[in-house]
Homo-oligomer: A and B are copies of this chain.
Amino acid sequence: MSFQDLDDLNQTVHALDHALSVLSVDEAVNMPTGGGEARAEALATLAGIRHEHASDPKIRDLIEAARKEDLTEDQRTALEEFDRVYTNLVCLPVEFVRRKTETTTRTEQAWRAMRPANDWKDFEKELKKVVDLAREESQLRAAATGLSPYDALMDQFDPGNRAENVTPVFTHLKSFLKQFLPEALAAQAERLAKRPLRPVMGPFPKASQKALAEAVMPVVGFDFTHGRLDESHHPFCGGVPTDVRMTTRYTETEFLTSLLAVLHETGHALYEQGLERISAHWPHTQARGMGMHESQSLFVEMQIARSREFWEWARVYVDEHIGTHALEDLEVDDIMAIVNHIEPGYIRVDADEVTYPLHVILRYELESGLIGGNMQVSDIPELWDAKMKEYLGISTIDNPKDGPMQDVHWPAGLFGYFPSYTLGAMMAAQQWAAMEKANPGARQQIAKGDFSKINDWRRDNIWRQGSRFSTPEIMRRATGEELNADFFINHLKKRYL
């Protein structure tokens, strides 16, 4: 009976999550500006009702009582993941959550004004308050979960990821990349000296780009009976698993950036569409975490869509929907040179596949120091600059807006999130290798536009696993080993040397 009560509760919370998710998509895609205030009030009230239900104190007793009931194995899995979610939800006192929301909202607003002004000094005072709160939160979460403070934060985004496992993998990857980056840049220069970049130049009308995206997406696996593609200012993948709302944006001068962004979001969408539909209102059937989600988007974007085989197949779609003029002077090698161009830079979100992990590892090193307490906010500019020089050979000391002020994460109170990006990239490479071992014809299949066997492997090994296991355990079951940076390293060597 207690399990049934929890089932009803999950149904309620699930309906509210459905509403919150679709209303947020509508806000980004359809809502006229004047609707914003009433929408914000409605969302805040719904989020409050959701929290009230999901954090009801009687749930602890229901969980304990349900454990003693005669449950199926599936129900036991559901119950244990639900317990984890509940513990993580209620371990912060309401007073703390209110204080955090107030502070991070104010700091995020301050950041929006101070970043363009390159004003580190004032920003430092604001950020210090957020770091103090993040330390307090990490202690509260550590007490509730028995994890170390930084692990307790990371566990929010990818359950099971621990610094003791992540740090050596990042260290290995970092030392590889520091030596690899100059080699890869030299190899690129040599290729470009032989055959210069042939830029793709528009205008390419929006409608044609949308038609191209909507033609490619279903072949890659997107199910348009359970989702759609719209436009928004920032591309995202939202909605619910049975109705996935993807967005992109278009510039008419160029079509490759938008298409690759669509394919990145398609990777997220396939994960959501591929989740188990039975017990969809229980947390164990939801997508696992941020790192795992990023591995699914990067699997499509990096492993598939920036490969030679993909373009051997996809160029006829470009011919059909954009026009034969778009790529007519280009060989597949030329397309590879464009979509896999590398160049060290200041900004993480603009970084390529090779330099991106160094941006992330830098942030991981700093934020774990900040949370651990052996580093202070005032140390950030010099440490950031020293690491940028060491990893990428560029300095940000006079330009904090493109250095430690560039990301919204820290002012918004998100600590423990950054590692997910690079963990996702490594997991994607490792999953690709395991999939290719089971399906040695994968590259030839892509060249023919046949994604069915590749997606079958992903469905069985990732999507349908939902949140039944921790992130590392899903990886072990899917690939037969622990997270291993060498798969990603080999992928980079193959692509860039």
Chain A residues within CB distance 8 Å of chain B: 11-12, 14-16, 18-19, 22-23, 26, 30-35, 37-39, 41-46, 49, 223-228, 230, 239-243, 280
Judge whether B38 and A240 touch: CB under 8 Å: yes
Given known contacts A39-B243, A42-B18, A30 and B228 CB-to-CB distance under 8 angstroms: yes
Q: How far is the CA of A22 from the CA of B15 in the complex (A)?
A: 14
Return the 7 tightest CB-CB contacts between A and B, nearest first.
A35-B243, A15-B45, A18-B42, A34-B226, A34-B225, A15-B42, A38-B242
Q: How far is the CA of A321 from the CA of B167 in the complex (A)?
A: 63
- Chain B residues with Cβ under 8 A from A22's Cβ? 22-23, 26
Q: How far is the CA of A271 from the CA of B28 in the complex (A)?
A: 26
- Chain B residues with Cβ under 8 A from A12's Cβ? 45, 49
Judge whether B15 and A41 touch: CB under 8 Å: yes
Prevailing SS type, chain A contact patch: helix
Which of B23, B32, B43, B240 has a CB less than 8 Å from the CB of A228? B32
| Shortest Cβ distance from A44 into B: residue | B15
- Chain B residues with Cβ under 8 A from A37's Cβ? 242
Judge whether A38 and B280 touch: CB under 8 Å: yes
Judge whether B46 and A15 touch: CB under 8 Å: yes
Judge whether A242 and B35 touch: CB under 8 Å: yes
Q: How far is the CA of A15 from the CA of B38 in the complex (A)?
A: 9
- Chain B residues with Cβ under 8 A from A30's Cβ? 30, 228, 230
Judge whether B23 and A243 touch: CB under 8 Å: no
- Chain B residues with Cβ under 8 A from A19's Cβ? 19, 23, 42, 46
| Shortest Cβ distance from A280 into B: residue | B38
- Chain B residues with Cβ under 8 A from A223's Cβ? 34
- Return A243 CB to nearest CB of chain B, in Å: 3
- Return A188 CB to nearest CB of chain B, in Å: 42
| Shortest Cβ distance from A226 into B: residue | B34
Judge whether A33 and B242 touch: CB under 8 Å: no
The 19 listed contacts between A and B (C-beta, < 8 Å) are A11-B41, A12-B49, A14-B45, A15-B43, A15-B45, A16-B46, A18-B39, A19-B46, A22-B22, A22-B23, A26-B26, A30-B30, A32-B228, A34-B242, A35-B240, A35-B242, A38-B240, A39-B242, A39-B243
- Chain B residues with Cβ under 8 A from A41's Cβ? 11, 15
- Chain B residues with Cβ under 8 A from A26's Cβ? 22, 26
| Shortest Cβ distance from A53 into B: residue | B49
Q: How far is the CA of A228 from the CA of B26 in the complex (A)?
A: 12
- Return A144 CB to nearest CB of chain B, in Å: 28
- Return A62 CB to nearest CB of chain B, in Å: 19
Given known contacts A22-B23, A26-B26, A225 and B33 CB-to-CB distance under 8 angstroms: yes
Q: How far is the CA of A239 from the CA of B239 in the complex (A)?
A: 19
Q: How far is the CA of A227 from the CA of B33 in the complex (A)?
A: 9
Q: How far is the CA of A34 from the CA of B38 in the complex (A)?
A: 29
- Chain B residues with Cβ under 8 A from A11's Cβ? 41, 45
Judge whether B42 and A226 touch: CB under 8 Å: no
Q: How far is the CA of A227 from the CA of B227 in the complex (A)?
A: 24
Q: How far is the CA of A14 from the CA of B38 in the complex (A)?
A: 10
Judge whether B23 and A38 touch: CB under 8 Å: no
| Shortest Cβ distance from A35 into B: residue | B243
Judge whether B32 and A243 touch: CB under 8 Å: yes
Judge whether B32 and A227 touch: CB under 8 Å: yes
- Return A335 CB to nearest CB of chain B, in Å: 32
- Chain B residues with Cβ under 8 A from A280's Cβ? 38
- Return A160 CB to nearest CB of chain B, in Å: 28
Q: In this complex, which of A22, A26, A35, A227 has the most chain B Cβ atoms within 10 angstroms of its Cβ?
A: A35
Judge whether A18 and B38 touch: CB under 8 Å: yes
Q: In this complex, which of A15, A23, A224 has the most chain B Cβ atoms within 10 angstroms of its Cβ?
A: A15
- Chain B residues with Cβ under 8 A from A39's Cβ? 18, 242-243
Q: How far is the CA of A228 from the CA of B32 in the complex (A)?
A: 7
| Given A22-B26, A32-B224, 18 more pairs with CB closer than 8 A | A12-B49, A14-B42, A14-B45, A15-B46, A22-B22, A30-B30, A31-B243, A32-B225, A32-B226, A32-B227, A33-B225, A34-B225, A34-B227, A34-B243, A35-B226, A37-B242, A38-B242, A49-B49
- Chain B residues with Cβ under 8 A from A240's Cβ? 35, 38
